[in-house]
Amino acid sequence: MKIKEYKTKFIAELLPFYDEMEAESFFYLILENQRQLRRIDLALNIDLVFSKDEILIWNSILEKLQLEIPIQYILGTTHFYGLEFNVNENVLIPRPETEELVEWIISSSAKLPNFKNIKILDIGTGSGCIAISLAKNIPNAEVFAIDISDKALATAKENADLNKVAIAFIQRNILETNDLEQQFDIIVSNPPYVRNLEKAEIKSNVLANEPHLALFVEDNDALIFYRKIAELATKNLSPEGKLFFEINQYLGKETVELLEKMYFKNSELRKDIYGNDRMIACNL
């Protein structure tokens, strides 16, 4: 079957689940992943065909999309901050908002003394997207990354190898940690912050497929991770260092107040590309 003909069938069968633009974007993502062909390649070669074996693979992918499994999990890969990352059901799919946090950290790191290595700690690293992007873009960075999940750390290690960076990975439950045992110039975390009461706002395919361990906190203590990480930072952040968080968009004011009560200064709350309160930086 000609690829162009299959494209028409593929999009039509996804329309009950996705709009036409999204269905078409899925088609070209898969085409590049499976055949290393771009939109322009197909436009210039309209007689390209799929073999019977390829059609079987595409039909299998189509069935998964109809079940609303995220395309990133189906393909096993995604892009973040210009880098490629393996993803699976053990890690969250990196979001564009987190790229903004990475960009903020990179620009801030330029203001730190450059005569020594900058020690960075990423808490709750998941796929490793923050830690790896920082290691790739801050030449004098020595990067450490913590996660409670051994399966998430296995994926993060794969991604560090894929992107050719050295990261010191540590398996640890941060809520049960009393000391980080060394000083860091930058501590960053995108911890679980979605309250159970906000589940109704989460897309059904996220709820069904992404790890709840990395997403949700109890309604009665939504800032539990921020409090604990800030407590550790009071002991393990260097005098000129900075603490960065990605946050719950509804709890920006509360998060700033928490940090100020713990004697952090110069708190800066920033909005993401969608206009939501999404990230905070502060120092001691």
| Mean pLDDT, the chain cut into blocks of 10 residues (284 residues total) | 94 94 95 93 91 95 95 96 96 96 93 77 98 95 96 98 97 95 96 90 86 90 96 94 96 96 95 96 94
Angle between helices 224-236 and 252-261 (to 10 degrees): 40
Sign, Cα dihedral of 133, 136, 138, 144? positive
Angle at which helices 3-14 and 52-66 cross, to 10°: 20
> What pTM did the predictor assign?
0.92
pLDDT of residue 158: 98
Apex CA 110: angle with CA 108 and CA 112, to 5°? 85
Tell me what pLDDT residue 115 has.
53
CB 279 within 8 A of CB 247: yes
**Three-class SS of residue 7?**
helix
Question: Distance (Å, rounded) from C-alpha 238 to C-alpha 54?
Answer: 55
Q: How far apart are CA 132 and CA 137, in angstroms?
A: 9
Strand, coil or helix: what is 164? coil
**pLDDT for res 208:** 86
* pLDDT at residue 2, rounded to an integer: 93
Alpha-carbon torsion (50, 54, 55, 60), positive or negative? negative
pLDDT score for 114 = 62
Q: In this predicted structure, what is the pLDDT of residue 262?
A: 93
Q: What are the extents of the domains in the chain? A: 3-67, 78-283
Which contiguous run of DSSP H or E holds residue 44?
Answer: helix 39-44
Fold that domain 78-283 belongs to in CATH: Rossmann fold (3.40.50)
